[in-house]
Chain A
């Protein structure tokens, strides 16, 4: 479990706290979305999960161990973080070596490394670039490479900062598939994202942040009922929630996806004549 208790944090050059009195617990087997306006502290918060940042006050514990006492390397074995900007974490000379790097550092055997790297590159449709420099990949491909590198070492918590940026429809579908597959293996996926429609389809627990504070922490359906909180956090409603707001007496609840919406509307239209 990741436990955050009374966390306060500010960057050394800044006067104000970026995170204020954060209290959350994230168990295994969950999808958690962290949402909020630009500069609300989302990325700063997730950097505490693998010890890249340490609290000024309060604590963050990962499987019971205080991040103040652990190295980033040790924490990263449990918590894999994929940055928003892939250029911040790519540094190897080839795509293959990029995925291999952490596995070697974590002491995996050569045969296991080969299998895992091959799986990860094939899964993310990058195997054809294995001998290419990562710098020559497109933005979307670089993001997939970072995800492949992290999944290859199989951490318990996978933290994704804006994973859908630069990804086309098929890649987003694949990402959703990966997330669901990870949950079946009792992993936890924490996603920072502005992509409302992507989040709605995942139906995660949502933590809304505004100005460094948690404004709301609830299941997806409840969060999008809370107009005041989502407005405060720069979030807007998914189209099917907005649709429900307009047609509430006609619809039983906001449709989860297009298929459910189609079936509901087919019944409605039949009734309407």
Chain B
């Protein structure tokens, strides 16, 4: 299968930066993958994402070496508006992408600009309002909303475009925990049902064990780990790469280091508890 995103021997430095931000990146992401991208602050995560949606090199200048290919075409040779129909990007700060006077108008702005017909716009709007649980906000002015609500509006505005690739930079950081869980489940559902490729940068990875297929860890502009989530999360010293390992996973890692051989590895509390009960009562 041809990868949807491909980095080949890629290096990048910003104009004002003395050192390269991305070094020797070789990466392939297939259609339909759900990828979690992590790493300490300043490791190059955001820069890598900007290379996928074309903000680099089209808006941020710098020294660009190697190739980035998205959906079979070189990013450096396509314009940003074409890339924007393929790559949806939700910024960390929702205020960077909300600008209309009502929530509804903001969500449909992109669709109106590419000439989608009114009925389809209506359908997609209702769908996005519903899955993000913001139906009650549709006629409100974005500036009246809390940051968490603004974030959901920004995500809705991206989702209605039905991009092939959806990139989210810390999408749940301003959402309350319940909404964050619901939102991550929604993302997984989208990933399963319409096969959209999802790349999420997230420090709160306690939300992601059950949804991410793959985990990529970056440090100092390079990829240091890349593999199935369930394997990478077991790596020792992930915290040194900025990753906050969920307590239940951290507990199993530390038990294993203490010589306890558990019969399996659980990514959530419920299955871990079941496993422990069986172990403890095994000899009763």
Q: A239 to B248, Cβ gap below 8 A?
A: yes
What would be 9 A-B contacts, judged by CB atoms less than 8 Å apart?
A169-B243, A171-B41, A196-B177, A235-B178, A239-B246, A240-B247, A258-B251, A262-B255, A269-B255
Which of A43, A138, A236, A238 is close to B178, meaning CB atoms less than 8 Å apart? A236
Q: A166 to B247, Cβ gap below 8 A?
A: no
Q: B41 to A167, Cβ gap below 8 A?
A: yes
B123 beta carbon closer than 8 Å to chain A = no
Q: B176 to A38, Cβ gap below 8 A?
A: yes
Q: A169 to B239, Cβ gap below 8 A?
A: yes
Contact code string A138-178 (vs B, CB < 8 Å = 1, else 0)? 11110000000000000000000010111111111000000
How many cross-chain pairs have Cβ atoms below 8 Å apart between A and B? Answer: 155
Q: B244 to A262, Cβ gap below 8 A?
A: no
- Measured in the bound complex, the distance between the Cα atoms of B92 and A141 in whole Å is 14
Contact code string A185-220 (vs B, CB < 8 Å = 1, else 0)? 000000000111100000000000000000000000
Using a CB–CB distance below 8 Å, which chain A residues touch chain B? 11, 13-14, 35-40, 43, 84-85, 87, 136, 138-141, 162, 164-172, 194-197, 231, 233-236, 238-240, 242-243, 246-247, 250, 257-259, 261-262, 265-266, 268-269, 271-273
Interface of chain B residues 162 through 194 with chain A (CB within 8 A): 170, 173-181
B residues near A265, Cβ cutoff 8 Å? 251, 255, 260, 276
Using a CB–CB distance below 8 Å, which chain B residues touch chain A? 16, 39-42, 46, 92-93, 95, 144-149, 152, 170, 173-181, 203-204, 206, 239-240, 242-248, 250-251, 254-255, 258, 260, 269-270, 272-274, 276-277, 279-283
Q: A13 to B176, Cβ gap below 8 A?
A: no
Q: B280 to A250, Cβ gap below 8 A?
A: yes
Q: A39-B148, A166-B41 are in contact. Are A243 and B248 (CB under 8 A)?
A: yes
Q: B176 to A168, Cβ gap below 8 A?
A: no
B residues near A11, Cβ cutoff 8 Å? 144
Q: B41 to A140, Cβ gap below 8 A?
A: yes
Which residue of chain A has the shortest Cβ distance to B96 in the bound complex? Answer: A87
B residues near A164, Cβ cutoff 8 Å? 203
- Measured in the bound complex, the distance between the Cα atoms of B280 and A159 in whole Å is 45
- Measured in the bound complex, the distance between the Cα atoms of B40 and A247 in whole Å is 34
B residues near A231, Cβ cutoff 8 Å? 178
Which residue of chain A has the shortest Cβ distance to B281 in the bound complex? Answer: A272
